[in-house]
Structure 1
Amino acid sequence: MKTWNQLFIRHGWFLTMKEENIFDYTEETEGNMQFLLQCLEKANVIYRIENGLLYVPTGTFIEKKWIAAIDYQTRGRGGDLWFDAYTDAAKVYELDTYICGIVRQLNRIGIRTFGSCDGHGRRVAHVLIRKDYNKEDLSVLLQALCPKRIYLRENRNSYQLQLPLNRSELLDFAENVSKAKESWLGQSFNVIKEQLFYSLLEELLSIPGASENEGLVKELVIEKMKPYVDHLTIDRAGNVIAEKTYRSGNGPTILLNAHLDIVQELKSGRKIIKQGNTWSSTKGILGADDRAGVAVLLHMAEYLYQNKRFNGKVKFIFTVEEECGLVGASQVDDHFLWGTDAAIVVDRHGTGDVVTSCRGYIPFCHPSYGSFFEKVASEAGLNGWATTDGGSSDTRIWAEYGIQSVNLSVGYDHEHTHQESLDVKACYRTAKLLEAVFCNNGELRKVLREIKREKRIPVIE
């Protein structure tokens, strides 16, 4: 199921969303709009046109059903006819079904194309790009936008972007390119990844989901996680759980955790206020507790998929009903936690805190595990991280299982109030700390091994 905004982007139309079901189509060509209306009618979608706006039903639509409406036997056989002679805009109905969104989004950010093929399920999809750009800059941008391996080949008069992706991944790539700006061409890989992280944050902060009503954010998390893990499901409590084994899997097993629910529902019509690095809400809560943590975990799932330095297993738990008593965490099946060496929770206000106990009375971990995070942060140039006491969170549940656990700051403040804010730069720094933690695989393994050894040594009185 996809929102209408996703469907329009993924399949090549340029419409500006005004509200969930209202779109400004004045920037789209007449031919592309005629084709869109024909497709809506073919899919039996009730719509209306009024003053440059397209009104469609609220909610989501089955993408497979939408593809059946927009596809036809001879689509994509237009040769060089797929550009409008007057506007230089691509004709949606002349482009292959699964490459159309990519072509149009590349053109939107100034990357001019002149040929494409979606592979028709038999060959590798490709896009021909005019040789007007620095190859390295173009390659960096495209690799940052596509977590899967893609290739930019240099021909005599063009670049050929080869996309060894399945059809669903091609549509996902189009959606990723839609987040890019023309100014990103020439930026570094890390700068582009940071901007994509902020886009993900904004998406998560726009989804409702108070305790017991986490359905929509669950759908998004499952959609984002599925390409990067070995196993993914919803457990009996409603938590989204997943796991992935990296390389030989001989290293430690680490649990990454954030909670899906927000303390109260988002106010209708609220907007996100962006003042530099600080985001807040025009009314009601922002919802950064703990959507910021969810963003960090989704970032890490993609990062670990691309990065080959970690050796071990990672278990992801996105819990429900944390805000009303750690309900989801307390009901995770014991067997999913078996063999877990350590846990990292991302659900702490402020910046730079590595929480190692609940108010100093309930320890979450051995002191050396907390110190490991301080050391990694310092060596990575991420200053200001220090161990401290904190409050209750899902961390307490994992610690009760004997799992070495910490809770990391993720940049939000004044949570549970209408003054809630999020330092998005600090949130991204938390993601960078986690990257550094997993890159220090050998040291992490050593620390956890020493903690286990110390526990086995008998105390002589």
Structure 2
Amino acid sequence: MKNWNRLFIRQGFMVQEQSRNVWICWEESEENMSFLLESLRTLSIEYTFEHGILSILSPAVSEEAWLRCMGARYRGTGEWPWFHSGKEEPKIKEIDTYMSGMVRQLHRLGLPVIHCNGGRGRRRPVIEFASWVDMEKASSVLQAAGLSKILVRNRQINISVSRDQLLNITEKLNNVQKEWLNEEAASMKKQLFLHQLEQCLSINGESGNEDEIRQFVVEHLHPYVDVVAVDRTGNILAQKVCGTGQGPVILLNAHLDTVDVIEKGREIIKEGAIWSSSKGILGADDRAGIAVLLELAQRLHEFQFNGKVKFIFTVEEEIGLIGARSVDDYFLWDVDAAFVVDRRGTGDIVTSFAGYEPFCAESYGTFIEETAKKQGLTGWKCTIGGSSDTRIWASHGIQSVNLSAGYHNEHTPSETLDTDACYGTLQLLIGVFQEARELNRVIRRIKHRHRRVRPNM
């Protein structure tokens, strides 16, 4: 379920959320506002609109219902005069339902579109830019937002993603700042990751009170997986089949709870790549892990990975791995390899608990070290560590490791997060998916040698 703000963004309405379910609409055109209010009335949504302030009293509808309502007859089937100028505000009602948000965001960034075609499921979506647009900048910003496969022809860009993915791209574009346009796509991708990381660090959820962070994760994970559910304990379980699904089954895990509340009114202090909290805990344990996994989910379509990916975001990890212990066995039966992102420091690949309870075979840890080197990442080494959800997955006979997420002094007001190191963890996991064939070979050799004997036996 999307909230109203996300529904507005994904459809292209330029309204600014002032507080929950209240928006400032002064910068939106009269015609687009008229279309928005007309749509709300069609859905029998209770709202008020006075002096450019929109307040909605009804809960958000499903995106399916919203798209049906927004799908005006003949919408996106031709061209209109405003397209050719590239200077007037785009009229949402006249643009393809899945393209309008992208067109509005590109216009905001100074990259106006003069024609677009959503493909309507029969051919690739196409966007054509005004004559003065720097096509290199246009390509870079679209790649940063998640369009890994684009074809540039003169002033047109052909897009190789599903129509549904276009809405997700729009949300990414909404967070791009104009000053980023002189940067390369890779740099913009990192900026977008840091934006999501900051969002995660700003959401409360101490052990036993994870509702707010759980809702955030479900909302941001849902568009990128095949199925997502919350189990009886409150854990989030999700799954995505990539390609034919015949390759390895990989489990990605972080925990939802923090050891304490995030204090009201605190600020995140940023000193270069090092972030800390103005008061109380920062919450990087394990908000950093959550951010890494959400970003990875959003990038899965960029990899030529053939297999299955499972996500588990657990509750009450900090008070005894309670969430992980309650996960139903059936969800783990086919898992080959588990990667937990919940370790302090940088470059640690934790392969055992205290040195006497192994999480994986030595060759599994070696594979991760070699993958880090291939990604150009230095300092990643296998080591022993403390308790984490990794213990639970290993007890099921799954090859498992716990990876550093870049935080230090967790559980204290002195907690810091090295955001460069955190982003390095994301890059390592991207490398794992890029090296999936080798991972599959390593897993097969381990199974053949041990006949799936549990690591701690």
TM-score w.r.t. the length of structure 2 is 0.84
Equivalent residue, structure 2, for 1:444: 439
Among 242, 253, 262, which residue is 1:257 paired with? Answer: 253
Distance of 1:379 and 1:70 partners within structure 2: 47
Distance of 1:371 and 1:290 partners within structure 2: 25
Question: Percent sequence identity over matched residues?
Answer: 47
Query: Displacement, 1:119?
Result: 5.5
Aligned pairs for 1:172-251 (under 5 A) are: 172-185=168-181, 187-247=183-243, 251=247
Return closer, same or farther for 1:418/1:46 CA change in 2, 3 Å cut-off. farther
Distance of 1:312 and 1:2 partners within structure 2: 28
- For residue 201 of structure 1, give the secondary structure of its aligned residue in structure 2: helix
- For residue 341 of structure 2, give the secondary structure of its aligned residue in structure 1: strand
Aligned pairs for 1:14-413 (under 5 A) are: 14-40=14-40, 43-47=44-48, 49=50, 53-57=53-57, 60-67=60-67, 72-73=72-73, 80-82=80-82, 88-118=88-118, 125-147=125-147, 149=149, 151-154=151-154, 158-159=155-156, 161-162=158-159, 165-166=162-163, 168-185=164-181, 187-247=183-243, 251-308=247-304, 310-413=305-408
- Is 2:424 aligned against 1:429? yes
Aligned positions, number = 452
- Is 2:4 aligned against 1:4? yes
Matching residue's letter, 1:28 = E
Distance of 2:398 and 2:121 partners within structure 1: 46
For the 8 Å contact 2:4–2:60, the answer to whether it is kept is yes
Distance of 1:437 and 1:120 partners within structure 2: 34
Distance of 1:360 and 1:5 partners within structure 2: 48
Deviations along 1:238-295, whole A, 9 cap, x unmatched?
A: 3222334445655443322111223334344444333321223344433322121122
Distance of 1:455 and 1:115 partners within structure 2: 59
Distance of 1:77 and 1:244 partners within structure 2: 33
Unaligned runs of 5+ in 1: none
Matching residue's letter, 1:242 = A
For the 8 Å contact 2:47–2:57, the answer to whether it is kept is yes
Deviations along 1:412-435, whole A, 9 cap, x unmatched?
A: 223223333322111110011112
For the 8 Å contact 1:131–1:159, the answer to whether it is kept is no
Query: Displacement, 1:392?
Result: 0.9
- For residue 253 of structure 2, give the secondary structure of its aligned residue in structure 1: strand
- For residue 2 of structure 1, give the secondary structure of its aligned residue in structure 2: coil
Deviations along 1:303-347, whole A, 9 cap, x unmatched?
A: 343211x45443322222222221121111222222433321111
Matching residue's letter, 1:146 = G
* Of 179-188 and 251-260, the range deviating more from structure 2: 179-188
Matching residue's letter, 2:234 = G
* Of 274-283 and 346-355, the range deviating more from structure 2: 274-283
Deviations along 1:339-370, whole A, 9 cap, x unmatched?
A: 43332111111211111222234222233333
- For residue 324 of structure 1, give the secondary structure of its aligned residue in structure 2: coil
Distance of 2:16 and 2:231 partners within structure 1: 37
Return closer, same or farther for 1:210/1:41 CA change in 2, 3 Å cut-off. farther
Distance of 2:137 and 2:55 partners within structure 1: 39
Distance of 1:86 and 1:118 partners within structure 2: 18
For the 8 Å contact 1:410–1:430, the answer to whether it is kept is yes
TM-score w.r.t. the length of structure 1 is 0.83
- Is 2:420 aligned against 1:419? no
* Of 104-113 and 93-102, the range deviating more from structure 2: 93-102
* Of 78-87 and 12-21, the range deviating more from structure 2: 78-87
Unaligned runs of 5+ in 2: none
Deviations along 1:156-186, whole A, 9 cap, x unmatched?
A: xx425557633x4333232222122334445
